[in-house]
Amino acid sequence: MRITLFGATGLLGSELIREWKDEAVTGLSSRDADLRDASAVSRIVRETRPDWIVLAAAYTDVDGCEGDRDRAFAVNRDGAVHVGRAAKETGARMIFLSSDYVFDGKKTTPYEAGDNRNPQSVYGKSKAEAEARLQELLPDCCIVRTSWLFGTGGKCFPNTILKLAASRPEIDVVNDQRGCPTYAADLARGIVQLCRKSAGGIVHATNAGNCTWFEFAQEIVKKAGSTTAVRPATTQQMARPAPRPSYSVLSPASLHAFRINLSSWQDGLERYLKQRLG
């Protein structure tokens, strides 16, 4: 099986490169392929002749998107469409990485794959529109929504907390936003399995369990052996440019339908810390 991976140097992409052992993988960074350039995307896909295209590249700075709407939509929506068209032209299957931010956070029970999108941020809107366009263009496209991604390959929440804990006796963390932390290495394994199972439709893929950012930070500090105190704060107290859903827990039912299970987020965190801290 031949794989063309856009976003090969990111948190998830680097883990996907490690996870695919028996496939011929072409890994592309943003320097190799600008998603905004439709002709370049088409040329790359024609040259690599993939069975599967995995689009893990995106403009993921949520607050940055809020201040640069044009770039957010050019990369996240239009770039996805360019890849989708290239997939259609060559007969390749496609996996598109999306986000829990396509939801408004007003539910109090886990979001199912078929729940209505109602994004509140520019980032969420760019991802939601990409999903809709791809569903029209490629009905068999697999849209994988995930959340709160962390890993050793770049910037992420645990890394930020560890750095703060190394220099401060106390840190304040939001306690009124709830979601599912997801370890990039586990998500990569899930995506590889979805490809091998010829998956289509919308799939929610996160580690099992959920927590608030405050609870996540507490677990990070505790498992790292730090004495830094973590204090709960409200979203209002920790105001950010982009709105975040207060509840974005994703139901695993769509993933379990393919007989794929990911371990708990606590287990993923332990492995992350072991790898990062040694």
Name which of 18, 92, 109 is nearest 55 in CA terms: 92
Residues 6-49 have pLDDT tens digits of 999 999 999 999 999 888 999 999 899 999 999 999 999 999 99
Active site residue 123: yes
Q: Which phi and psi (to 5°) does residue 94 adopt?
A: -140, 140
φ, ψ dihedrals at 183, nearest 5°: -80, 125
Domain boundary assignment for the chain: 2-151+182-208+249-263
> Exposed (0-12), middle (13-18) or buried (19+): which is 32, by Cβ within 10 Å?
middle
The answer as to CATH 2.40.10.10 being correct for domain 2-151+182-208+249-263 is: no
User: Which pLDDT band, with edges at 50, 70 and 90, does 154 fall under?
Assistant: confident
Tens digits of residue pLDDT in 155-180: 899 999 999 999 999 999 999 999 99
Q: Among residues 111, 123, 183, 272, which one is catalytic? A: 123
247 pLDDT more than 80: yes
Q: The tokens 């207060």 sit on which residue?
A: 246
**214, 172 Cβ separation under 8 angstroms:** no
Q: Where are the beta strands (DSSP E) in 77-224?
A: 93-99, 142-146, 149-150, 170-174, 178-179, 182-183, 201-204, 211-212
Give the pair of three-digit tokens for residue 219: 């677990």
